[in-house]
Structure 1
Amino acid sequence: MNTIRSDVPCVKELECRIDSCRMKLNALDEVWPNIYIGNMVVAHHKEELRQRGITHILNAAHNAWGSKGNQTFYGSEISYLGIAAEDSIDFDLRVYSHQASEYIHKALKAPEGEILVHCVLGQSRSAALVLACMMIYQNLSLADAVEKVLRHRAASPNRGFLKQLQDLDLELRHKKTQCQLL
């Protein structure tokens, strides 16, 4: 049986923290330096993206109804990665967490790199992938990553994604402990 460490918040605690956020949901918010979470509408507005300096797009709702995103749509100025994730508690987003995190990290290392991570509303899929990246590349716990994102955006990953992020948090903590023991 998978036991939860006392310093790792349970899904219910995370949901309560997320539900207490009273921010208005905007089309686009910078949640970490040069990382933006937004909705599909802003992701389709190429001129606004250029004006904001967005160099990379990660579409967590690739192939969703109404999504125009692909590399051809954005041209050579904006690098594109599409992930066909469903906003369902049963969808396994973990299979994309490391790929998405690497892409975000690569975007931030690019000269003047700025990335928009979006899904349909910019609340669940995109937020979950950004949280995973913050945990993997910024060494943040899930609780700390959630707090940092909620300071800037009304994010709300679904319960299934929160459980997967909790598992990732435990996995990363375990690896860190193992490395410290060596």
Structure 2
Amino acid sequence: MAVHQSHQPLPVSDLQRVLWCHRGSTGHVNQVWPRLYLGDAFTARDKAALREMGITHVLNAASGKFQINTGPEYYRDLNIDYYGIEAFDDQHFDLSAYFYPAAHFIKAGLQSSKDM
């Protein structure tokens, strides 16, 4: 059995800073928490934007050959860590099996001091 460290949420002041300093949406990506962005397929493929935002980790919930087929090789020149989930936009797809691994990946990315 693995022992997990307790989750320590970021201070509310960090969230308030994001809300007060909101830069506005580009239509493709938004900062949803300090150092955490939510973007679409356009953003996932826009290496210049990823570099400019300082993105070091990409979690792709639409990974796969017939979806958003980026993967670790696509980001090699950016030194981005990649985690792909071949999820389908279907009401019967059980995404819950990926919650813990995805949360672990996000936590590792937020704790990373990795530079691009």
> Scaled by the length of structure 2, what TM-score is found?
0.71
Cα RMSD between the aligned structures?
1.9
- Structure 1 gap ranges (5+): 1-23, 114-182
The one-letter code matched in structure 2 to 1:79 is D
Do 1:64 and 1:84's aligned partners in 2 also have CA atoms closer than 8 Å? no
Say if 2:84 is the partner of 1:88. no
Q: By how many angstroms is 1:65 displaced? A: 2.7
Equivalence for 2:102: 100
Equivalence for 2:8: none
1:37-81 CA-to-partner distances (Å, cap 9, x unmatched) read: 110111101111011100000000001635231101100511111
Q: By how many angstroms is 1:30 displaced? A: 0.5
Equivalence for 2:56: 55
Do 1:44 and 1:68's aligned partners in 2 also have CA atoms closer than 8 Å? no
Say if 2:30 is the partner of 1:29. yes
Equivalence for 1:14: none
Kindly indicate which of the two structures has a greater share of residues assigned to helix.
1
The one-letter code matched in structure 2 to 1:99 is P
Change (3 A) 1:72 1:37: same
1:1-182 equivalences in 2 (<5 Å): 26-63=27-64, 65-75=66-76, 77-111=79-113
Counterpart-to-counterpart distance in 2, 1:26 and 1:75: 26
> Scaled by the length of structure 1, what TM-score is found?
0.46
Change (3 A) 1:54 1:36: same
1:106-147 CA-to-partner distances (Å, cap 9, x unmatched) read: 00000167xxxxxxxxxxxxxxxxxxxxxxxxxxxxxxxxxx
Do 1:34 and 1:108's aligned partners in 2 also have CA atoms closer than 8 Å? yes
The structure with more radius of gyration: 1
Counterpart-to-counterpart distance in 2, 1:25 and 1:56: 20
Q: By how many angstroms is 1:33 displaced? A: 1.0
Change (3 A) 1:33 1:50: same
